[in-house]
Amino acid sequence: MRRAAQDGIFSESIVFARPANAQQHMAKSRFEYVRTYEQDHALLPNTYIVVRIDGRGFHRFSAHYKFAKPNDRRALNLMNHAARAVMEQIPDTTAAYGQSDEYSFVLRRDCSLFDRREAKLISTFASTFTAHYQFQWKEHFPDTPLDPAMLPTFDARAVLYPSITELRDYLSWRQADCHINNLYNTSFWSLILLGTLSEQQAEQELMGTLSADKNELLFSRFGINYNNEDAMYRKGTIIVRKAEESLDVSAAPTEMSKRQLDREQKKRRKAALVEEHVDIIGEVFWSSLGKSIV
Ligand code: DGT
Ligand code: MG
Ligand code: MG
């Protein structure tokens, strides 16, 4: 019985003895062969992995929860909160860039998390982000409970970049996208909310306009200087893990348990996160904060 209690599987008050050679038995099960159908796709070594998560159906989601147009500060803060939580939980993430309903996570070039298996990586990022987004929802939307018929979910993909040049161009592409969409949306919703146009009329009005035209339209009609709009809306959010001093274990008191050490590491990782709404296309960023990404 003592042996059964040690090796057995407990189910309420019943104790099932597990044979000592259970491992071998399992390996020889006639069903075992189905494992060979599993195909792991390992991402190329020595490349930057970027995992981008994106809200599923956020066009409808944002309408359902009446997000402010064109930007809802609460929603963007919640995205940033969830992204920081992901970075705290997955230390191989060196940076994250977010705008609208998306976040891109940059992994260390020598990252060996899950042996770089793509399915494990993207499913972990999507589910970890989703879990935190849902958990922190009530902090950012205290008066709007989540509706089980409209829960937030996120998909994820992984893209590989061979050098810092492509990685920088990738992040520049996302920030340029943020700028183009935000300038358009700010103009579009100004014409409707501050002007008197319908959605169709506003669309018509903006058709074929360049950036300069939209800037001019905002200023001349509504007195809005686009450059004074909130930087989080114009630039998106970059979160960087600043190079942290590693914890000197030899200096730690000998009685510090593994759990305490883990807690200490986690605290330091959290403290090392820096969140900014700045230009990430030009040199200034890459010769300062951006240095710790590569
Ligand atoms: P998807 O990603 O293919 O499942 O489809 P969606 O609907 O998520 O489309 P996507 O990701 O291309 O565009 C994001 C949508 O989320 C877009 O319709 C605008 C909306 N959205 C994101 N942030 C805000 C916000 O702060 N305020 C408002 N009103 N809408 C937002
Ligand atoms: Mg989306
Ligand atoms: Mg999107």
Q: What's the burial of 114, exposed, middle or buried (CB within 10 Å: 0-12/13-18/19+)?
A: middle
Establish if 66 belongs to a structural domain.
yes
- Number of domains making up the chain: 2
Helix (H) or strand (E) holding 185: helix 164-193
SS3 content of the chain, % helix, strand, coil (to 5): 50, 15, 30
Q: Does residue 216 share a domain with residue 146?
A: yes
pLDDT, average across residues 244-273 = 70
Q: Is 11 contained in some domain?
A: yes
- Residues 52, 34 share a domain: no
Per residue in 20-60, pLDDT (tens digit) is 555 555 557 999 999 999 999 999 999 999 999 999 999 99
The answer to whether residue 43 sits within a structural domain is no
Could you tell me if 143 and 209 lie in one domain? Answer: yes
Amino acid at 137: W
Residue given tokens 């230009």 in the structure block: 279
- State whether 75 and 21 are in the same domain: no
Number of alpha carbons in the 13 Å side-chain half-sphere of residue 36: 5
**What is the CATH number for 266?**
3.30.70.3000
Asked if residue 223 and residue 79 are part of one domain, the reply reads yes
- 233 pocket-lining for ligand 1 (C-beta < 6 Å): no
Q: Does 105 lie in the same domain as 62?
A: yes
How far is the CA of 127 from the CAs of 107, 176, 211, 252, in angstroms? 17, 27, 37, 34
- 146 alpha carbon to ligand 1 midpoint, in Å? 17
Domain check: are 13 and 119 in the same one?
Answer: no
Average pLDDT over residues 182-192: 97
| Residue 21 sits in the same domain as residue 91 | no
| E-assigned strand segments in the chain | 9-11, 14-16, 48-55, 93-99, 102-107, 154-161, 237-241, 273-276
Looking from the CA of residue 69, the nearest atom of ligand 1 is 29
Nearest to 38 by CA among 126, 120, 113, 154: 120
Domain that holds residue 8: 1-38
Cα–Cα nearest to 233, from 201, 186, 191: 186
> Same domain for 242 and 211?
yes
Query: What pLDDT was estimated at residue 290?
Result: 94
Q: Would the pLDDT of 124 be above 80?
A: yes
Question: 21 and 57 share a domain?
Answer: no
Shared-domain flag, residues 33 and 52: no
Tell me, in angstroms, the distance from the centre of ligand 1 to residue 267's CA.
33
Q: 153 C-alpha to center of ligand 2: Å?
A: 9
The protein residue whose alpha carbon is closest to atom 2 in ligand 1 is: 56
Which of 56, 61, 62 gets mutated to test ligand 1 (max ligand atoms within 8 A of its CB)? Answer: 62
Residue 11 confidence (pLDDT): 34
134's enclosing H/E stretch is helix 118-140
Mutate to test the pocket of ligand 1, among 100, 151, 193 (most ligand atoms within 8 A of CB): 100
Domain membership flag for residue 92: yes
Q: How confident is the model at residue 245 (pLDDT cuts 50, 70, 90)?
A: low
Asked if residue 15 is part of any domain, the answer here is: yes
Are 83 and 218 found together in one domain?
yes
**Is 202 among the domain residues?**
yes
> pLDDT tens-digit profile of 142-160?
999 999 999 999 999 999 9
